[in-house]
Amino acid sequence: MSGRGIALLSVALLLSGCMTAKVGTDYAAVSQKVGPPKPGQSRVVVLQQKRDGLSMAICACDVKVDGSPMGKVMVGTYAYADLPAGPHELVASEVLFPGDTRRDFTAAPGRTYFFLVKSSARRDAMTGMSIVGGLAGVAVGAVATSGSANLGPGEFIPLDEPTARTMLAELQLAD
| pLDDT score, position 34 | 85
Q: How confident is the model at residue 10 (pLDDT cuts 50, 70, 90)?
A: very low
Residue 48 near residue 74 (C-beta atoms within 8 A): yes
CA-wise closest residue to 137 among 129, 148, 146: 129
DSSP state, residue 53: T
124-164 per-position pLDDT tens digit: 776 666 667 776 656 665 666 666 666 678 889 999 999 99
Contact 120, 59 (CB under 8 A): yes
